[in-house]
């Protein structure tokens, strides 16, 4: 891919995270800030990755990672998506929410490969249910989503479905598990324990 057309990674961290007590990006999952999981995964695939956050968003120390500031209002996931597209210099944007710890590099690669210019986006899904905060958005998606982002009240799933994205089915639905509550955090920790127990021993 030429530099102009290769995607930029954008980790969305502008949500208030009220259901988990605030400061969601810095919440520890197995001793590591939650945001580090998707940040490291996307960084394995893409050379340029930035974090989208509000001015007052509390982030853990992340050396060498650019932070792009999104508008304070409204608080809506579309704001992070459209701000990333506006700042990307005409390049596609691989969006990933900060609370998706189980996304794999292979799924990120599949989303990038599945996002031809004729479609505004390629979005991850599980059993046909979209996860619009994990997808590769083409530059022209900005015009399609900007109005809804400014309004800040449109249902996210319906808004993204309306732009007719390509859907990319996750091989494992757990890849799209998002951490919104303390119970989700406990479940994610148990999932990590299970995965580590099942992993083959190193040689």
Distances (CA, A) of 180 to 25, 26, 29, 158: 11, 13, 12, 20
pLDDT band at 192 (very low <50, low <70, confident <90, very high): very high
**Full set of structural domains in the chain with CATH:** 8-198 (3.90.550.10)
Give pLDDT tens digits for 57-104.
Answer: 999 999 889 999 998 888 889 999 999 999 999 999 999 999 999 999
Say what the pLDDT of residue 203 is.
62
């Amino acid at each position: 891919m030429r530099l102009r057309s290769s995607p930029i990674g954008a980790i969305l961290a502008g949500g208030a995270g009220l259901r988990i007590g605030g400061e969601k990006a810095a919440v520890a999952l197995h001793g590591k800030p939650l945001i580090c999981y998707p940040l490291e995964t996307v960084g394995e695939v893409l050379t340029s990755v930035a974090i989208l956050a509000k001015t007052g968003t509390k982030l853990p120390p992340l050396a060498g990672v650019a932070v792009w500031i999104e508008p304070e209002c409204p608080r809506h996931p579309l704001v992070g998506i459209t701000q990333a597209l506006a700042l990307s210099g005409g390049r596609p944007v691989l969006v990933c929410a900060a609370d998706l710890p189980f996304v794999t590099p292979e799924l990120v690669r599949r989303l990038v490969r599945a996002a031809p210019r004729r479609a505004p986006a390629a979005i991850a899904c599980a059993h046909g249910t979209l996860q619009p905060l994990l997808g590769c958005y083409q530059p022209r998606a900005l015009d399609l989503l900007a109005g809804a982002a400014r309004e800040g009240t449109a249902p996210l799933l319906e808004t993204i479905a309306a732009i007719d994205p390509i859907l990319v089915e996750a091989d494992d639905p757990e890849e799209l598990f998002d951490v919104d509550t303390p119970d989700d955090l406990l479940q994610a920790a148990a999932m990590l324990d299970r995965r580590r127990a099942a992993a083959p021993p190193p040689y």
